[in-house]
Amino acid sequence: MPLTGPKEMFAKAYAGGYAIGAFNVNNMEIIQGIMSAAGQEHSPVILQVSGGARKYAGQGYIMKLVEAALAESPEIPCVVHLDHGADFALCKQCIDGGFTSVMIDGSHLPFEENIALTKQVVDYAHDKGVWVEAELGKLAGIEEHVASEHHVFTEPDEAVEFVQRSGCDSLAVAIGTSHGAYKFTGDARLDFDRLEAIGKALPNYPLVLHGASSVPQEFVAMCNKYGGNVGNAKGVPEDMLRKAAKMAVCKINVDTDIRLALTACIRQELVEHPEAFDPRAYLKPAREAVKNMVAHKIRTVMGSSNTI
């Protein structure tokens, strides 16, 4: 199956009360790990590429790796999505390069400017049949071009106006998640009343949850045990993510958990085998760790196993 857009995936996920996992990709091992997990679970998948990933690996390399993965597993419905597109030019390059979905992230802009920028991308993307995700509200923490000390939660009535006027196809909302490995200092809390209100205000409309890694404590402990210093990393509990997936959230973004799985495993391998210097010796188990973590997530968090 060639790359597909998320329209049908999200419609089925919305109706079925599950979500599609959107996993950040940066290199071959990560792409292979995710795709083999999706194949094992018979699940659709979204591979997402940040501006930073695109700079690191090169858009051409990423697309060729995805092409190779799809040739091997043609049964998996797969979207290639730009994560946190900073401006129109980047979205355009990705659309022109074959991405089937882009995010334009104007969440740092005033409301009217966010609408105008999103609409500019929507006009270009829809002309080429490409899906557009936008963001309203701000997640606390830092990502590539957006830094915010505090959450600015999404207002349901503003969300409706934003979607109507910008024409975006899906909307990332701020309900208390944040990017990275340090999401909560005290108890984890998400504003589910707000999520429900946004869902009601936008019926049959797919919402997106960013900053949704659960930061598995076994990987935190492994990193710390084998020479790392990941401190008191804490993520979103899996039961909260499951609850969001049963509501209007159709796409759940995961990057940090992949980084942790890969790093924990590589650290362990290097400490336990100090004589080893063949990268395949430590990247093979690390790739397997990504696969197992993603398969677990697809099965028990997204709920998208066996939905192809």
- Give residues in contact with ligand 13P (CB under 6 A): 24, 83-84, 179-180, 210-213, 253-256
| 183 lies in the site for Zn ion, by CB under 5 A | no
Sheet strands (E) in the chain: 20-24, 45-50, 78-85, 101-104, 131-136, 141-142, 147-148, 170-173, 207-209, 249-254
| 29 lies in the site for ligand G3H, by CB under 6 A | no
- Choice from 138, 194, 210, 251 touching Zn ion (CB under 5 A): 210
From 45-53, 160-168, 191-199, 272-280, give the range in contact with ligand G3H by CB under 6 A: 45-53
* Contact track, ligand G3H, 245-264, x by CB under 6 A: ----------x---------
Name the residue type at position 169.
D
Active site residue 83: yes
**Distance separating alpha carbons of residues 167 and 74, to the nearest angstrom:** 31
**Cα angle value 11/252/176 (rounded, 5°):** 120
| 138 lies in the site for Zn ion, by CB under 5 A | no
Q: What are the Cα distances from residue 159, in Å, to 134, 195, 197, 300?
A: 11, 11, 10, 29
Look at residue 52 and give the partner it binds from ligand 13P, ligand G3H, Zn ion, none, a contact being a CB closer than 5 to 8 Å depending on partner kind: ligand G3H
| Exposed / middle / buried, residue 275 (Cβ in 10 Å: 0-12, 13-18, 19+) | exposed
Closer of 172 and 283 to ligand 13P (Cβ):
172
Closer of 150 and 200 to ligand 13P (Cβ):
150
Closer of 260 and 268 to ligand G3H (Cβ):
260
**Distance separating alpha carbons of residues 96 and 111, to the nearest angstrom:** 27
Closer of 52 and 167 to ligand G3H (Cβ):
52
